[in-house]
Chains A and B, each alone.
Chain A
Amino acid sequence: MISKKLAVEVLNLATSTGADFAEIYLEENNSTSIGLDNGKVESCQDTLTYGAGIRLLKGLQSVYGYTNDISKKGLSKLALDLSASFSGERVVIVDSITKVRVGKKHRPRIEYSTYPREKIISMLTEASKTCLEYDPRIVRCKVSFSFNYKDVEIFNSNGKQFNEVHSRGRAYVIAVAAKEGAIETGGEGPGAQKGMEFFLEDIDLNQKARDAAKAALTMLDARECPSGKMPVIIGNGFGGVIFHEACGHSLEASSVSKGLSVFSGKKGTKIASSIVSAVDDGTIEGGWGSGNIDDEGNPTQRNLLIKDGILNSYLVDDFNGRRMGEKGNGATRRESYKYEPTSRMSNTFILPGKSTPEEIIASTKFGLYAKSMGGGSVNPATGEFNFAVNEGYIVEDGKISYPVKGATLIGSGKEVLLNIDMVGNDLLRAQGMCGAASGSIPADVGQPTIRVKEITVGGRGGAI
């Protein structure tokens, strides 16, 4: 997007007052979103996100700025404004820029921009129809579809240039079911860092529409969940959101390096049950959170976070790594040029164990089976969390007994990890958007079916 010559000029301007590192991140992101309500296309929108962010580091200080004006004038002004926050002698100088070879994985085979939009819309219209016709109690169906093509260019004061492309697509189906005075929703949101082939070959959106309708209807007839402490079986796929929120975020260098995480200084110690191993893997082909490089230009990695219950690795970006004496391990991400990058998750999941999901249910005398999880939140300082169960069932005498609604799981990440007593063999990943300091980014969560000995379950159905 800019010439090497201009990059050298801007980097040298940025480092003129003593910054020991400077970086220019440029982005051009073409995205499209289509929204349907009850089968009608209500909106179709194209957005071009375009701009540059400049980051300067000096020891443990960082300075960041961004602009839409990537002309020589615009970038020079930004570099100069940012450099004004330091006052020192120059310590680095950039002579030339070398382009670093970057892998070509995760590229779309059928680019969204070349695929006829009419065909995309008929796929979405059909999914809406499938959902609305599934049952007369389905009163509303919202379908949306978004895809993008993002070009990224990074230059830094180590004299390096990196180029990366991200193209992702995601569909959402939300079904609303109603009967007198009660309304429930069910949803599915499949996505990948692939082209249109994902929707044509890998998944069936009509099936997802039926699944969304079915989940909404199940909850319409569900009883209120009882509350109290009980064993909880957490379903595979999006069930991994608990691990993501209650453990993954606490392994990010942004909080670890400052001593703000419950896992600060815990490397090499037991933080989970010995049947638990977990990874963050940014290299998975076409994975929702994958990349060839991260947003600092470091190659992505498969980082083994927990091995047999022992904390093995954090997720580290180069800047926070300075505080920890560690190098970045390919885990630096940002939503766009408007965000300073930091350590984030990519595709994070618990590795499969030996039990079948059937065995896990059969060996549970009484408990909650949280088949499908909703979102949740966690307090990073204490690790306390709560999560909504979208689709839950009470298990009695080793059998699924009846559906329950309104359940939430409450606990602390630290305790839950240690209390996992069964790990299934049915690993599945699911797509989510993860929000934190460097913006909202696509990230996969995942796990096999697991069982936790005891979690506090909140619900409106009275104490057990």
Chain B
Amino acid sequence: MNYNKFFEKANEVGLEALELSITKSKKFSFGLFKNEIDSYSISDSYRLSARGIYNGKLGYATSEKIDASTVDYIINHIKENATFNTSEDKPFIFPGSKKYNRKNVFSKKLANMSANEKINIVKKLDLAVKQKDQRINEVETQYQEETEEYILLNSFGLKLSSKQNYAVIYSSAVATDEQGETKNGFKVKILTDLEDLDIDEFASKVVKDTIAQFGSAPCKSGKYKCVFNPSSTSALLSFFLQNLSSEEVQKNTSLLKGKLNQQVCSKKLTINESPLEKNVFFRYFDDEGVATYNKTLIKNGVLQTYLYNLTTANKDGVETTGNGYKNGFGIGIRAVNVSIKPGKDSEEELFSKVKEGIYITDISGLHAGMNAQSGNFSLISQGFMIREGKLKEPVSLITVAGNLFDVFNGVVAVGSNKELQTNSYSVPSIYVKGIQVSGK
């Protein structure tokens, strides 16, 4: 595709600046049921999104149809939509950062492996899950691979591109015991090389998590000391960090407004954002074309910075932090590759510190039971009782309720176990005091 035509047309109709972002995506996926392929899918897609400034205002247009009409469609819609924009925020199309830390994160190994080899590996995993325990009656295993090429171009001559690929493997098991009780469990893993997959370990984890739930029941309601496993910690943290968005701060909807350089959570917590970490979530430029950099967000509980895009940084008279990423309505704010600095204690050591409490392994219903704005949540959870410093009977159908600020203030210890989650967070287990649990 000749992108010059877009810039020529933009000039012709009087746009002051234009930015194109192009995503080319290839996907390959399959699913197994009863160890046979029951779904298989391939795709090749293209999407061109554009923003432009007309009379000092931004307009937007996106198209997946690439033909002779595309240039007119995009540029005319941008111009028209800009005329409806009444925002008082200064719009930015960015000429470019001085330096970019580009790294090659494309996995040739994954790209070169044949579909059959991939199917064989996943079939082995699926079978391993099924054979681990007689009580497993159904297993579903899915493989999804995506290759994405992303190009950002603008009328200042900026041209940035990246190419990434990864595979996600998901396996879930349904088990029924002698009493007819049904439980299910699953595990997801993101990989860039299938040779990194330890089939036995993965299968054991799926099965262990499923079987361990037999006989689970709600515990007594009350306040408990809790250990949140890495996936629950990352889920809670992602909502907590929404309060670092400068947009929320500027619009009075962040409870961390006015808290810069102040204690906002437990001293045990140091939280970093590392977009340049070489993994599948690596980003060396954000969606405005600004070079990203690694930074500390919270140091020993003290808030170090809010997160900015070009527009909100301009409002506060500071530099953007390179956190401008697209949302449904233009450029929003997001953090990539967030991590909590691990502590010294293994999970077992956390349990022995807790002595009497609950280990939370799963929290669900976040989009419903979490009020990101007030920080209040009430979430269905499951896990295990901790008695005398050891994991004991499983608990389910309990709700864990509290306030995010109280949770992160109440962190007593941080685990040494770190696990990359599907939301790009890499966090350990945390031990939190005084969590309200309702069960029976």
Contacts and interface: CB of A to CB of B under 8 A. Distances in A.
Interface of A: 28, 33-35, 37-38, 40-51, 60-69, 78, 81-82, 85, 117-118, 121, 139-140, 144, 176, 178, 181-185, 227-229, 258-260, 262, 338, 340, 374-377, 379, 381-382, 384-388, 405-408, 410-412, 456-460, 463
Given A182-B374, A376-B368, A384-B380, A43 B62 contact: no
B280 interface: no
Interface in B173-189: 174, 182-184
B349 to A, nearest CB: 30
B64 A48 contact: yes
B43 A67 contact: yes
Contact of A42 (B33, B40, B87, B377): B87
5 contacts: A65-B43, A140-B252, A228-B221, A408-B399, A412-B397
Given A85-B37, A458-B378, 6 more contacts: A33-B329, A46-B62, A185-B371, A260-B140, A338-B45, A406-B371
A408 B365 CA distance: 10
A295 to B, nearest CB: 16
B397 A384 contact: yes
A459 B85 contact: no
A406 B378 contact: yes
A140 B251 contact: yes
Given A377-B365, A463-B221, A44 B401 contact: no
Interface string B345-375: 0000000000000000000110111010110
B88 to A, nearest CB: 6
A428 to B, nearest CB: 20
A458 B84 contact: no
Contacts, number: 223
Given A184-B373, A382-B183, A463-B438, A456 B40 contact: no
Interface stretch (B53-61, B147-155, B316-324): B53-61
Nearest to A377: B365
Contact of A408 (B65, B138, B218, B378): B378
Given A46-B60, A260-B138, A227 B438 contact: yes
B59 A82 contact: no
Contacts of B369: 374, 376, 386, 388, 408, 458
Contact of B397 (A63, A410, A459): A410
Contacts of A382: 182-184
Nearest to B73: A48
A42 B380 contact: no
Contacts of A34: 84
B86 interface: yes
B379 interface: yes
**Chain A interface helix/strand/loop/mixed:** strand
Q: In the complex, which of the residues A44, A50, A78, A463 has the most CB atoms of chain B within 10 Å of its own CB atom?
A: A44
A22 to B, nearest CB: 14
Contacts of B73: 48
Contact of A62 (B40, B85, B376): B40
B274 interface: no
A382 B382 CA distance: 13
Contacts of B44: 66-69, 78
B41 interface: yes
Given A176-B253, A228-B221, A381-B174, A460 B330 contact: no
Nearest to A117: B84
B364 A121 contact: no
Given A227-B438, A408-B369, A460-B401, A61 B62 contact: no
Contact of A60 (B38, B62, B255): B38
**Chain B interface helix/strand/loop/mixed:** strand
B251 A38 contact: yes
Nearest 8 A-B pairs (CB), nearest first? A458-B399, A386-B380, A227-B438, A375-B368, A35-B329, A45-B60, A50-B65, A381-B184
Interface string B67-92: 00000010001001110111111000
Contacts of A33: 328-329
Contacts of A117: 80, 84
B77 A46 contact: yes
B66 interface: yes
Please classify how large the interface on chain B is, using the bins under 10, 10 to 19, 20 to 34, 35 or more: 35 or more
Interface in B380-420: 380, 396-397, 399, 401-403
A459 B378 contact: yes
Contact of A458 (B59, B61, B438): B438
B368 A388 contact: yes
A458 B369 CA distance: 10
Nearest to A411: B397
Contacts of A463: 221, 438
A432 B313 CA distance: 35
A340 B368 contact: no
A68 B364 CA distance: 35
A56 to B, nearest CB: 9
Contact of B61 (A35, A40, A47, A63): A47
Contacts of B373: 176, 183-185
Contacts of A51: 45, 64
A65 B438 contact: no
A397 B36 CA distance: 58
Contacts of A456: 218, 397, 399, 438
A286 to B, nearest CB: 25
A413 to B, nearest CB: 13
Contacts of A260: 138, 140, 174
B296 to A, nearest CB: 26
B418 to A, nearest CB: 27
A130 B288 CA distance: 34
A140 B87 CA distance: 15
B64 A61 contact: no
Contacts of A377: 364-365, 367-368, 380
B115 to A, nearest CB: 9
B45 A66 contact: yes
A408 B221 contact: no
B252 A41 contact: no
A454 to B, nearest CB: 12
B81 A46 contact: yes
B436 interface: yes
A379 B378 contact: no
B121 interface: no
Contacts of B65: 28, 48, 50, 68
Given A42-B87, A45-B329, A46-B62, A406 B376 contact: yes
Contacts of B367: 375, 377
Nearest to A121: B84
A44 B85 contact: yes
B42 interface: yes
A62 B32 CA distance: 11
Nearest to B137: A259
Contacts of B182: 262, 381-382
A45 B81 contact: yes
